[in-house]
Amino acid sequence: MAKKNKFSFTALIITSIFAAPIIGIYIIFLVFKFVILAILSCFPNKNKKFISNRNINDILINVDNLSGFEFEDFVTTLLIQNGYRNVNKTKSSGDFGADIIAEKGNIRYAIQCKRFNSKIGPKPIGEVLRGKNRYNCNAGIVITNNYFTKQAIQEGKISNIELWDRNSLINLILNSKLCDNK
């Protein structure tokens, strides 16, 4: 028995002699990594967009307080900053269901903007379908600062109309110049 304990103790000492430096090197590596990352975070990358949750929430609070016409202007700006071209607002009344006409790639879009405090039902889908036909567009989009009801989602699928909810709006904002901290 004494030999077994002596062998175990010897194995433990030998293992400790070799393992301690490896563990020490690993700890030094982790400390070095965190120090380098902390230093690099002090130098902003001008090609990267920085936004905190507080900033996006502030933007969304402002969006939620816009009038319908201001929301249309806001969406127009976002579309331009997201690579859409020939972005034009239609006239305020008698727009035939399309607030904005825009192009991206080979697709011409009729876009209906809805800034609401509650979920959006299927009515705007019918509106943008009329606008799509009136303005010779290939596709239709309904964009909102809110979300869509289940019925609207079903109607959008049936009508082949894209539904851009609050999450889509956030993505447009994140890809725009609104999120650059300069």
Question: Pick from 175, 58, 63: which is nearest to 114 by CA?
Answer: 63
Task: Please give the radius of gyration of the chain, using alpha carbons only, rounded to the nearest integer.
Answer: 28
Return d(Cα 41, Cα 142) in angstroms, integer: 39
pLDDT digits (tens, 9 = 90+) for 67-105: 999 999 999 999 999 999 999 999 876 667 899 999 999
Place of tokens 């009515």: 123
pLDDT digits (tens, 9 = 90+) for 9-64: 666 667 667 766 777 676 665 555 554 544 544 444 433 344 455 588 888 999 99
Kindly indicate the confidence band of residue 176, based on its pLDDT and cuts at 50, 70 and 90. Answer: confident
